[in-house]
Structure 1
């Protein structure tokens, strides 16, 4: 691995501006029970040498699918993906991937894990060992060459993932939420070190594409932010040129202003305060478990947020609320999405505003709140899928594996688990079904009466 150390901060890299990866009219759909389920539609995007591009969006916007299409790991349904003007017919030879979940082989040492990509390319043992040691040194893993993944912290495991990707010297490093599985301090440290390497010129890659749902992370790292929106499928909603000097000053007015503008776009707010697409009744007809994933919000969390808004008169500025709680706005967005999906609250300007149903829910006692929640929960397509499937099954029971198989066409295994965990939490609270963990089985007991009978959507 011959690192380029000739570059100095503040200067351009060789051939900056060259188009490395380009998508033209990219569309991706998956087969579903009711026909093709669109995930991405009409994506035109260029990644140029010398830039960091952030793909930003909430769950279901298709950002990870787009990244995998650009890496050649997932075929497009239509349109093209090209690497240096050559359309892909398989894996992109100019990219390497860093995943959220580390993806290390536990029986291999750090050095052996780092060497995997070079071994697959047929690099001789001595050469790949030398390159691996350079990558290990570059990413700050000196002394851990012979360690096994189980001996490492989460941050160190992710460093191995970075070293494994960088050792093959890709033109484009692609990162799929690489910091989201780490604690806040570890993520901040690793993020900062990564950008220092990028600016130093010792980074053996010409461009970076980062998938994230974190607005501040995108503004901190990227030169260009591409915001993806969903419903009914992923499209590019807006692109922002960051234009801020590195290292980024989080306290500057320009930094705050850009976060606010990106936030407004990401949450889909118009001047009249409606979430994009949510005002149309037809939107509900297009919702499926594939195009409307459940936000990562438990019942306690969304109930707590609804009660806080009620105590502030049923309306409050979301940024002010986050600041009062000592949180980032990004931390609250899944709860906001959950309240919006259930029609308990919507955004109005900068404020989160409870609907009449949300006001009743937030102010009700436990039993009444369960009844209101049971009426609203089937608005979530996965909850509706589970309840309707159980109702149509003569035995009144289905294994969780049935739903895992259905979701596996659209989500990673980790995402499937999170989707089912949230749906189970919501359905249990609403008493729409039972879930027995030992047989991993959903069930409706005839002798038990749910909190309410779900209304047809």
Structure 2
């Protein structure tokens, strides 16, 4: 057995996604769904009706928020997790177990700590029954190609995070897979190490002697997706579903500071925040996919993906779980939201989400809950990846503490259904007291136990900040905030309406 050399750093990069996408299909997923049995026998749908094709000669990034099922979808394509519905084929053959054409790189390195670097790299070859001497030669060549020559006999504990991930990449490449799958491979690394390793992977991909035919990378980092991929597939959340499939036609190597790069990043931010090109909410898969500059389906598999997306739209509009997710409170604190409004306030003309994330040193999954909270409460607007304060947002920023709390309470009453329901339930209870477990039990009818607890805790934080109610966690009792005179006024108004 021989292994290709991946060290040709001077080779030219493929120029466009269009040329790459014309290659032979390696892996095809058709109408894939995944459902788990959750607590109390309930079913939890993680993925719904996703169709996707990976072609020879392309790097594809799967992008999405937390909860989009990106890693689950990757593992289904790799044959590590069975799909609940739909089919996955490798070069035309249905897969019923581990996909023989895939090498997988994990976020957490997944090295055996008791094995040396060389032994870790040989694991896949050993599992395939490759003779000892042959796998030794192949492993040493892979280790050299990935830049770890001299560390063959080192143990993982002796290596930095970047070096450990290099071992993981060498272990995946040594089996000469058709497709290299990478599950958030750089997220556990520091910024500089991650950037260096991204470039190393791109250099290996550009090498004339590379054996891998395609790369599929899961990420929540939009800049990383645009930097590396020829095509970006975007999944929506709760459950995971296809919302865009966009080619990236920028020439390589890519300049992060170019107008074209920044425009592509802004477009993807707009898609992930659910904004159509005119700034309105993109409520269907068709609208959100159209946000990709009208080229969301420019690959040779575009027609199938477009049909799948269109088919999903009516079902999603009526699905209970989709409706429930639209009412969910974003996982953001009032203090964090106030800090975000403070920063956006300093930009009179607003700020691009990409620049905002860079200014805050936030990842996408850290930023989006704050953005969602701000838009839910009417403090922010997001149009095509550009965030600005509303007039209400400016007033809230300029208000004193007491006034800002009163305003926040009014926003919750108007825009946060769960907080409003809890507030009214407490005030209408016989003694102005309510057990928190009652609210959690009601939430469990629509959410998993963990999500029900999370939604309850967010509601308590928001409601207490707005002085709508108090919560004694020790006794699990919610009570009306008697210190807030607005509560007495509101109770009197509701009483008169009842009369």
Q: Indicate the residue corresponding to 1:335 in structure 2.
A: 370
Q: Do the aligned partners of 1:172 and 1:206 also contact (CA within 8 Å) in 2? A: yes
**Whole-Å Cα distance in 2 between the matches of residues 19 and 114 of structure 1?**
28
Q: Structure 1 residue 184: deviation in Å?
A: 1.0
**Whole-Å Cα distance in 1 between the matches of residues 13 and 192 of structure 2?**
30
Q: Structure 1 residue 353: deviation in Å?
A: 4.4
Equivalent residue for 1:143, pick from 150, 167, 176: 150
Q: Do the aligned partners of 2:46 and 2:239 also contact (CA within 8 Å) in 1? A: yes
Pairing 1:28-67 to 2, within 5 Å after superposition: 28-32=34-38, 35-67=42-74
Pairing 1:287-436 to 2, within 5 Å after superposition: 300-310=335-345, 316-319=350-353, 322=356, 325=359, 330=364, 332-340=367-375, 344-354=379-389, 362=397, 372=408, 391=435, 393=437, 406=449
Distance 1:350 1:57, change over 3 A: closer
Q: TM-score, normalised by structure 1?
A: 0.75
1:154 aligns with 2:161: yes
Equivalent residue for 1:263, pick from 269, 276, 286: 269
Q: Do the aligned partners of 1:154 and 1:182 also contact (CA within 8 Å) in 2? A: yes
Q: Structure 1 residue 444: deviation in Å?
A: 4.6
For 1:141-179, what per-residue CA distance to the aligned partner results, in whole angstroms no more than 9, with x for missing partners? 122222222222111111111112112211111111111
Between 166-175 and 121-130, report the one with greater CA deviation. 121-130
**Whole-Å Cα distance in 1 between the matches of residues 476 and 367 of structure 2?**
35
Q: Indicate the residue corresponding to 1:19 in structure 2.
A: 25
**Whole-Å Cα distance in 1 between the matches of residues 373 and 161 of structure 2?**
29
Q: Indicate the residue corresponding to 1:100 in structure 2.
A: 107
1:4 aligns with 2:4: yes
**Whole-Å Cα distance in 2 between the matches of residues 277 and 263 of structure 1?**
16
Q: Indicate the residue corresponding to 1:79 in structure 2.
A: 86
**Whole-Å Cα distance in 2 between the matches of residues 203 and 337 of structure 1?**
43
CA RMSD of aligned residues (A): 4.6
Q: Do the aligned partners of 1:275 and 1:346 also contact (CA within 8 Å) in 2? A: no
Q: Indicate the residue corresponding to 1:402 in structure 2.
A: none
Equivalent residue for 2:75, pick from 46, 68, 74: 68
Q: Structure 1 residue 47: deviation in Å?
A: 0.6
Q: Indicate the residue corresponding to 1:438 in structure 2.
A: none
**Whole-Å Cα distance in 2 between the matches of residues 190 and 176 of structure 1?**
14
Distance 1:263 1:191, change over 3 A: same
Distance 1:113 1:247, change over 3 A: same
For 1:273-304, what per-residue CA distance to the aligned partner results, in whole angstroms no more than 9, with x for missing partners? 233339x9989974668997966x66644331
For 1:7-54, what per-residue CA distance to the aligned partner results, in whole angstroms no more than 9, with x for missing partners? 993498999812110001112223345843333222121111111111
**Whole-Å Cα distance in 2 between the matches of residues 433 and 84 of structure 1?**
60
Q: TM-score, normalised by structure 2?
A: 0.69
**Whole-Å Cα distance in 2 between the matches of residues 312 and 122 of structure 1?**
61
Q: Structure 1 residue 127: deviation in Å?
A: 2.6
Equivalent residue for 2:253, pick from 219, 223, 247: 247
Q: Structure 1 residue 192: deviation in Å?
A: 0.3
1:227 aligns with 2:234: yes
Q: Structure 1 residue 212: deviation in Å?
A: 1.2
Distance 1:300 1:186, change over 3 A: farther
Q: Would you say how many aligned residue pairs link Structure 1 and Structure 2? A: 423
Distance 1:288 1:183, change over 3 A: farther
**Whole-Å Cα distance in 1 between the matches of residues 126 and 326 of structure 2?**
37
Q: Indicate the residue corresponding to 1:275 in structure 2.
A: 281
Unaligned runs of 5+ in 1: 399-404, 408-415, 436-441
Q: Indicate the residue corresponding to 1:413 in structure 2.
A: none
CA radius of gyration, larger in: 2
For 1:283-339, what per-residue CA distance to the aligned partner results, in whole angstroms no more than 9, with x for missing partners? 9974668997966x66644331022334557x7233596399376895744532343
